[in-house]
Amino acid sequence: MKQDLRNYEPDALVQLMKEEKIPSFRGKQIFEWVSKGVDDFEAMNNIPKALKEKLSDKYIIKNMDVVDIMKSKSDGTRKYLMELNDGNIIECVFMKYKHGNTLCISTQVGCRMKCSFCASTIHGLERNLTAGEMIGQIYEVQNDTNERISNVVLMGSGEPLDNYDEVLRFLHLVNHPKGLNISMRSITVSTCGLIPRIKDLMNEKLQLTLAISLHATEDEKRSQLMPVNKKYSVHELLSVCKEYTKVTGRRITFEYALIEGENDSIEEAEKLGRLLRDIHCHVNLIPINPVKEKKFKATSNENAKAFQNVLKRYSVEATIRRELGADIDAACGQLRNKHMEGKKKANFANL
C-alpha cells in the first residue's frame, strides 16, 4: 500500500528522502508542494522527472475525491461529500464569516460515542482518519473554492479525542509555518468529554479553543443524551475544565444543543448558569438541526433568547449560533447517511 505524503511534516519528509537515498532538500520542496494542495506529482515543476516517477510508484499525495457538493442558496455554505482511497465516505462543511472562511472537518469515519441526537453515530465507527486525511479535506476545499481556509473546526463526524494521536499530528501539520500556517488560535477542537484525553491535550498547552459538548446540567439527563457521561460525570468534566483554563490560560467553549422539551427550559438555564459562572468560558447555544432518524426537535428562537438572557444574568457569556446551511442538511452525518442509504438501495436493486 502506498504511503500518503500528506501525513508528513517537513523534518519527517526530509528523513524519508534520506532513507530513499534522495537529497534531503527535496523533502522540503515536496512538503511545500503538498501544502499548496497539489495532488499530482507532475505539477511539481522543480522536481526532476525521474524522481517524480519514483515517488509516484511508492507514494500518494491525493487521498480523497469530492463526490458531491451541496451549496446553500442563502449563505454560501458548502457541504462536501468525499470518498477516501479505501472507499469510505466522509464530509466537511465550508462556511463564510466576516472574520474569514471556516472549515468544519471530520476526524473519523462515523462515530462510536452514540450521542442520541447526532446523525454521525447512526452507522457506528468505521475507522479513524489519518492526519493526512484530515488536512486533505482542507486542500480539497481550497482547490474547489479558490479561497483560503483561515479557521478550522474539528466538529464534523467523529470524536476528535477518540483519535487523539492523529489529531495531534494534524494540529502540528496545519499549524506549521512552512505549511498552511493556520494559527492555533484559529482552531477549535470539540469533544464530548473524554477526560483523560482532555488532560493530555491540556498538558500540550496549545493555544487552540477547546469546545466541550455539554447539552445537559445533570447526570441523568446527560447520560440519556450522551452515553459517555456514564463514564465521566458532569462534575468530573467541569472540574477538569476549570483545571484546563488555569493551565492553558484559554477560555473554554461549551456547546449546548437546545432540544425542545428536553433541555431548553428556564430552569435548565438557571442550573447551567450556576454550574458555569466560576469557569472562564463561553456558551454556544445551538438550536439543533433536525435529523430524520431521531425524534428531537429544535427549540424556538424565543426559547433560545430567553435561555441566553438567563445565562447573562449569571455573567456567563452566551451566543446563539447563527444557523448556516439549513437548506442543505449541514448537520454532521446527514449527507453521508443519505449517500449510504442510496448505496444500499442500489445494491439491493442489483441483487
CA dihedral 133, 86, 90, 150 (to 10 degrees): 20
Q: How many CB atoms neighbour CB 346 within 10 A?
A: 9
Grid cell in block for residue 200? 493530555
Dist. CA 335–CA 70, nearest whole Å: 9
What's the rounded Cα separation, in Å, for the pair 70 and 68?
7
Catalytic residues: 91, 332
Cell of 230: 456514564
Q: Which residue has the cell 484525553?
A: 197
- CA dist 288 and 331 (Å) reads 8
DSSP character string of 288-334: PPP-TTS---BPPHHHHHHHHHHHHHTT-EEEEPPP--GGGT-STTH
Helix, coil or strand: residue 276: helix
CB atoms within 10 A of CB 313: 11
Question: CA-to-CA distance for 201 and 247, rounded, in angstroms?
Answer: 11
Name the helix (H) or strand (E) containing 248: helix 234-248
**Dihedral sign (CA 312, 316, 321, 322):** positive
| Nearby residues of 263 by Cβ (< 8 Å), 6 or more positions away | 215, 216, 217, 221, 225, 256, 257
In one-letter notation, the amino acid at residue 123 is H
DSSP label at residue 222? H
Whole-angstrom Cα distance, residue 91 to residue 95?
13
Whether 346 and 92 have beta carbons less than 8 Å apart is answered as no
